[in-house]
A = this chain, B = another copy of it.
Amino acid sequence: MTAQEPLLPLRLDATGQSLIILDQTRLPGEEHYLALTRPDEIREAIAALRVRGAPAIGLAAAYGYYLAACVSTAISFASLRAELAAVAASLAACRPTAVNLAWALRRMERRLQSSADLPLVDIRRHLLAEAEAIRLEDEAMGLAIGTFGLDLLQPGMNILTHCNAGILATSRYGTALSPIYLGQARGYHFHVYVDETRPLLQGARLTAWELGRAGVDHTLVTDSACALLMRQGRVDACLVGCDRIAANGDVANKIGTATLAIVARHFGVPFYVLGPASTVDLNCPDGGHIPIEERNKAELTDLRYRQRMAPPDTQVYNPAFDITDHELITAIVTDRGVIRPPYSGQLRRVFA
For residue A191, which residue of chain B has the nearest CB? Answer: B315
Q: Does the CB pair A231–B205 fall under 8 Å?
A: no
Instruction: Tell me whether A317 and B231 are in contact in the complex, defined as CB-CB below 8 angstroms, given that A204-B309, A224-B198, A307-B305 are known contacts.
Output: no
- A282 contacts partner chain B, Cβ-Cβ < 8 Å: no
For residue A204, which residue of chain B has the nearest CB? Answer: B310
Q: Does the CB pair A222–B318 fall under 8 Å?
A: yes
- CB-defined contacts of A255 to chain B, threshold 8 Å: 222, 224-225, 228
- CB-defined contacts of A133 to chain B, threshold 8 Å: none
For residue A209, which residue of chain B has the nearest CB? Answer: B311
- CB-defined contacts of A218 to chain B, threshold 8 Å: 314-315
Q: Is the interface of A mostly helix, strand, loop or mixed?
A: mixed
Q: Does the CB pair B323–A201 fall under 8 Å?
A: no
Chain A 289-330: CB-based contact to B (< 8 A → 1; otherwise 0) = 000100001001101010111110111111100110100000
Q: Does the CB pair A223–B220 fall under 8 Å?
A: no
C-alpha gap A304/B309 in the complex (Å) = 10
- A256 contacts partner chain B, Cβ-Cβ < 8 Å: yes
Chain A 322-352: CB-based contact to B (< 8 A → 1; otherwise 0) = 1101000000000000000000000000000
Chain A 152-194: CB-based contact to B (< 8 A → 1; otherwise 0) = 0000000000000000000000000000000000000000010
- CB-defined contacts of A310 to chain B, threshold 8 Å: 28, 196, 201, 204-205, 208-209, 220
For residue A259, which residue of chain B has the nearest CB? Answer: B227
- A284 contacts partner chain B, Cβ-Cβ < 8 Å: no
Instruction: Tell me whether A259 and B259 are in contact in the complex, defined as CB-CB below 8 angstroms, given that A219-B316, A305-B307, A308-B29 are known contacts.
Output: yes
- A212 contacts partner chain B, Cβ-Cβ < 8 Å: yes
- A258 contacts partner chain B, Cβ-Cβ < 8 Å: yes
- A277 contacts partner chain B, Cβ-Cβ < 8 Å: no
- A199 contacts partner chain B, Cβ-Cβ < 8 Å: yes
- CB-defined contacts of A258 to chain B, threshold 8 Å: 227-228, 231
Instruction: Tell me whether A317 and B219 are in contact in the complex, defined as CB-CB below 8 angstroms, given that A204-B300, A208-B311, A300-B196 are known contacts.
Output: yes
Q: Does the CB pair B318–A28 fall under 8 Å?
A: no
- A32 contacts partner chain B, Cβ-Cβ < 8 Å: no
For residue A225, which residue of chain B has the nearest CB? Answer: B255
Q: Which of A28, A217, A219, A317 has the largest count of B CB atoms less than 10 A from its CB?
A: A317
Instruction: Tell me whether A309 and B231 are in contact in the complex, defined as CB-CB below 8 angstroms, given that A196-B300, A222-B223, A300-B222 are known contacts.
Output: no
Q: Which of A205, A259, A308 has the largest count of B CB atoms less than 10 A from its CB?
A: A259
C-alpha gap A205/B310 in the complex (Å) = 5
Known: A204-B301, A224-B255, A227-B256. 16 other contacts (CB 8 A): A29-B308, A196-B309, A197-B224, A205-B310, A208-B310, A219-B316, A219-B317, A220-B300, A220-B315, A220-B316, A220-B317, A222-B223, A222-B255, A225-B259, A225-B319, A225-B322
- A–B Cβ pairs within 8 angstroms, 18 of them: A28-B309, A29-B307, A29-B308, A198-B198, A198-B222, A204-B309, A212-B313, A219-B315, A221-B316, A222-B223, A225-B255, A226-B259, A227-B322, A228-B255, A228-B323, A231-B323, A262-B263, A305-B305
Top 3 nearest A-B pairs (CB, nearest first) are: A224-B256, A227-B258, A228-B322
